[in-house]
């Protein structure tokens, strides 16, 4: 009967390639894309003229944009009441467990069994509430991330074209979860894409807000850690030829 008061992960899955991002950009600007009645047609083949290989941490890029920082902070504040509710439920369960542990030798069988059943009932209620809150938080996180990614995709493609890249690989997940075993900071384009996104979006840098002393990690959007292999720096430099 251990309480499950856990941190919510950001459930994002991206498959990024120059061709796919180019198709996203083409679809957004195509008249057929705005016509619901128009039949879907195969995207034209994309020929990448460059030969350089680049990397981008898509999750990190989304969180680093001014728009992402603003919207995820707003979501965190929106979820604070649910955090407080779940924390209260968890504290009540822990209190009952402590009562059972300290008083079970003094309780008769009926009282002890009633207390155990009460803990089990509240634990099941808490688990259901936690699962529902987790799914709701992840869905809202993904809505924000996907909205930003739809606008970021064409920018990545343009950056690749303008700078001679033949492929840009997502490094959001480290090997072996991700496909890339190692990469050097000189080929990482995350910062350049974020800067381009911020410039085009016009969203100002969000004001820093103090952390809430009562905030719980249960429903807060979890920012993924900077993903990089051992021995590389976090801040990228200008990609080399």
Q: pLDDT, tens digit, for every residue of 161-207?
A: 999 999 999 998 888 888 888 888 889 999 999 999 999 999 999 88
The better pLDDT of the pair 240, 84 is held by 84
pTM of the model: 0.66
Residue 101: inside a domain: yes
Residue 130: inside a domain: yes
pLDDT the model gives residue 191 = 95
Residue 82: inside a domain: yes
Residue 211: inside a domain: no
Residue 45: inside a domain: no
pLDDT the model gives residue 46 = 47
Most confident range (mean pLDDT) of 16-25, 114-123, 208-217, 225-234 is: 114-123
User: Residue 89 belongs to what domain range?
Assistant: 7-22+53-204+218-241
Average per-residue pLDDT for the chain = 76
CA distances from 184 to 17, 134, 181, 230 (A): 19, 35, 11, 10
Has residue 31 got a pLDDT over 60?
no
Q: pLDDT over 90 for what percent of the chain?
A: 55
The better pLDDT of the pair 210, 138 is held by 138
pLDDT the model gives residue 115 = 94
Q: What digits encode the pLDDT tens for the residues 53-67? A: 999 999 999 999 999
- How far from each other are the two terminal CA atoms of the chain, in whole angstroms? 58
Has residue 139 got a pLDDT over 70?
yes
Q: What digits encode the pLDDT tens for the residues 77-109? A: 999 999 999 999 999 999 999 999 999 888 899
Domain count, the chain: 1
Residue 234: inside a domain: yes
Beta strand segments in the chain, E: 52-56, 165-170
Residue 177: inside a domain: yes
CA distances from 131 to 8, 84, 93, 95, 207 (A): 10, 15, 17, 22, 32
Residue 37: inside a domain: no
Looking at residue 170, the DSSP 8-state letter turns out to be: E
Has residue 148 got a pLDDT over 80?
yes
């Amino acid at each position: 009967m251990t309480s499950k008061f856990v941190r919510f992960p950001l459930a994002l899955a991206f498959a990024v390639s120059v061709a796919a991002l180019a198709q996203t950009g083409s679809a957004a600007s195509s008249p057929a894309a705005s016509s619901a009645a128009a039949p879907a047609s195969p995207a034209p083949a994309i020929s990448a003229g460059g030969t350089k290989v680049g990397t981008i941490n898509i999750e990190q890029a989304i969180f680093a944009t001014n728009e992402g920082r603003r919207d995820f902070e707003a979501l965190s504040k929106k979820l604070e009441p649910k955090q407080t509710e779940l924390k209260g439920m968890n504290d009540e369960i822990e209190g009952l467990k402590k009562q059972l542990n300290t008083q079970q030798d003094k309780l008769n069988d009926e009282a002890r069994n009633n207390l155990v059943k009460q803990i089990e009932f509240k634990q099941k209620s808490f688990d259901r509430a936690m699962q529902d809150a987790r799914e709701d938080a992840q869905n809202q996180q993904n809505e924000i991330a996907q909205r930003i990614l739809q606008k970021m995709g064409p920018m990545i493609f343009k950056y690749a074209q303008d700078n001679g890249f033949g492929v840009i690989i997502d490094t959001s997940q480290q090997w072996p979860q991700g496909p890339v075993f190692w990469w050097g900071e000189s080929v990482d384009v995350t910062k350049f894409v974020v800067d381009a996104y911020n410039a085009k979006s016009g969203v100002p840098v969000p004001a820093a807000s103090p952390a809430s002393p009562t905030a719980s990690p249960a429903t807060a959007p979890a920012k993924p850690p900077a993903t990089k292999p051992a021995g590389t720096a976090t801040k990228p430099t200008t990609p080399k030829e």
